[in-house]
C-alpha cells in the first residue's frame, strides 16, 4: 500500500479533466494511474555540536566565558525544533571532563553552565582527545549524526597526556581530529599583547575555521556555528506511483 498524497494527486489530474469527463458524469473528477502521487518523507539528519572549552586559570575571567555560554544556550533554544544536540567538554587542571553530555535540554544546559568550574592548568591534548571520543561514541550510536567540534581556548597547553611535550601532544590530538573529516571551529581567546599563536597551528591541524573571541559575542559565535551545520530539514516529497 502506498501512502497516497490526495492533494498532490488532484493537482496532477486537474489539467486533464476537460479531456477526461464524459456526458454521463460531467462533474466527476477522473483520476488515472499516472496522476497518483505518493508521500515520501525524508528524515532529518541531526547535528551534534560539541564545545571543547578551556576552563583553566588563564580562561577563568568572566568575559572569556560569557560568549561561549551564551552561544551554547542560543543554540539549545533552537534544538527543540530540530534533532540537534549540544554537548560540552571542559579541560582544566590535569584532565578533561564531559560536563554536558549531548542534549537538547535547555534546563540541563543552564544548570551545567551555571556550575561550570574554572581554574588550574591547561590539558588541551586531553580535551581534544575526549572531544573526539565523545563524537565517535555518538556516531556509533547514530550513524546519521553530523558532528561539529568547537574548540575555545587561549592556546596555553601545559599539561601532558602521556608524558611528552604538551604542545606537540595537543597538535597530535588536533591532527587526529583533522584526519576524520569532522568539521571544526577554533575560537582563540588569547588576549595578551604577546601571543603564542598555538591556536592557529591547532586549527591548521584540525583543518578547521579560525576565529578570535575578542572580535565576537555570543550571537556571532552561534551564527558561525549554524553556518557550519548540516541544514537538511524534515520534508515531505511527492513522487509518482509506479
DSSP 99-114: EEEEE--HHHHHHHHH
Q: Are 56 and 141 part of one and the same domain? A: yes
Q: Are 28 and 54 part of one and the same domain? A: no
Q: Is 131 within a domain?
A: yes
pLDDT at 136: 95
Q: Is 116 within a domain?
A: yes
Q: Is 130 exposed, middle or buried (0-12, 13-18, 19+ CB in 10 A)?
A: buried
Q: Is 241 within a domain?
A: no
Q: Are 10 and 87 part of one and the same domain? A: no
* Total number of domains constituting the chain: 2
- Report the CATH number that the domain containing residue 54 is assigned in CATH: 3.40.50.410
Distance CA 63, CA 59 (A): 9
- For 12, the domain range is 6-42
Q: Are 119 and 187 part of one and the same domain? A: yes
Tens place of pLDDT per residue across the chain (242 aa): 467 777 777 777 777 777 776 655 666 777 887 778 777 655 556 788 898 988 887 665 566 677 777 777 777 777 666 668 888 899 988 899 999 899 888 788 788 878 877 788 889 999 999 999 999 999 998 888 889 999 988 888 888 888 889 999 999 999 999 999 999 999 887 765 445 688 899 999 999 999 887 665 666 666 777 777 765 543 444 455 55
Q: Is 233 within a domain?
A: no
Q: Are 38 and 56 part of one and the same domain? A: no
Q: Are 105 and 186 part of one and the same domain? A: yes
Q: Is 192 within a domain?
A: yes
Q: Is 159 within a domain?
A: yes
Q: Are 78 and 37 part of one and the same domain? A: no
Q: Is 139 within a domain?
A: yes
* CA-to-CA separations, 190 to 18, 118, 194, in angstroms, rounded: 73, 16, 9
138: Cβ contacts below 8 Å, ≥ 6 apart = 48, 85, 102, 145, 147
Q: Are 25 and 140 part of one and the same domain? A: no
Q: Are 12 and 125 part of one and the same domain? A: no
pLDDT at 158: 84
Q: Are 32 and 56 part of one and the same domain? A: no
Distance CA 128, CA 233 (A): 29
Q: Are 86 and 144 part of one and the same domain? A: yes
Q: Are 19 and 77 part of one and the same domain? A: no
pLDDT at 195: 57
pTM of the model: 0.73
SS (H, E, C) 175-227: HHHHHHCCEEEEEECCCCCCCCCHHHHHHHHHCCEEEEHHHCCHHHHHHHHHH
DSSP 4: B
Q: What angle is formed at CA 108 by the lines to CA 105 and CA 111, rounded to 5 degrees?
A: 145
pLDDT at 232: 52
Amino acid at each position: 500500500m502506498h501512502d497516497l498524497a490526495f492533494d498532490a494527486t488532484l493537482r496532477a489530474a486537474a489539467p486533464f479533466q476537460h479531456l477526461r469527463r464524459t456526458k454521463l458524469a460531467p462533474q466527476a473528477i477522473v483520476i488515472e494511474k499516472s496522476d497518483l502521487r505518493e508521500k515520501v518523507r525524508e528524515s532529518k539528519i541531526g547535528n551534534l555540536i560539541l564545545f571543547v572549552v578551556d576552563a583553566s586559570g588563564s580562561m577563568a575571567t568572566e568575559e572569556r566565558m560569557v560568549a561561549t555560554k551564551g552561544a551554547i544556550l542560543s543554540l539549545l533554544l533552537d534544538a527543540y525544533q530540530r534533532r540537534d544536540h549540544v554537548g560540552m567538554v571542559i579541560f582544566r587542571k590535569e584532565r578533561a571532563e564531559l560536563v554536558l553530555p549531548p542534549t537538547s535540554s535547555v534546563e540541563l544546559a543552564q544548570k551545567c553552565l551555571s556550575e561550570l568550574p574554572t581554574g588550574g592548568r591547561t590539558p588541551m591534548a586531553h580535551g581534544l582527545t575526549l572531544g573526539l571520543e565523545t563524537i565517535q561514541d555518538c556516531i556509533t550510536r547514530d550513524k546519521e549524526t553530523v558532528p561539529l567540534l568547537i574548540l575555545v581556548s587561549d592556546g596555553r597547553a601545559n599539561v601532558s597526556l602521556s608524558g611528552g611535550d604538551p604542545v606537540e601532544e595537543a597538535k597530535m590530538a588536533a591532527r587526529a581530529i583533522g584526519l576524520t573529516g569532522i568539521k571544526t571551529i577554533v575560537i582563540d581567546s588569547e588576549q595578551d599583547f604577546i601571543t603564542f599563536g598555538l591556536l592557529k597551528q591547532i586549527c591548521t591541524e584540525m583543518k578547521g575555521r579560525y576565529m578570535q573571541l575578542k572580535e565576537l559575542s555570543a550571537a556571532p559565535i552561534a551564527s558561525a556555528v549554524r553556518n557550519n551545520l548540516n541544514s537538511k530539514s524534515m520534508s515531505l516529497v511527492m513522487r509518482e506511483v509506479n
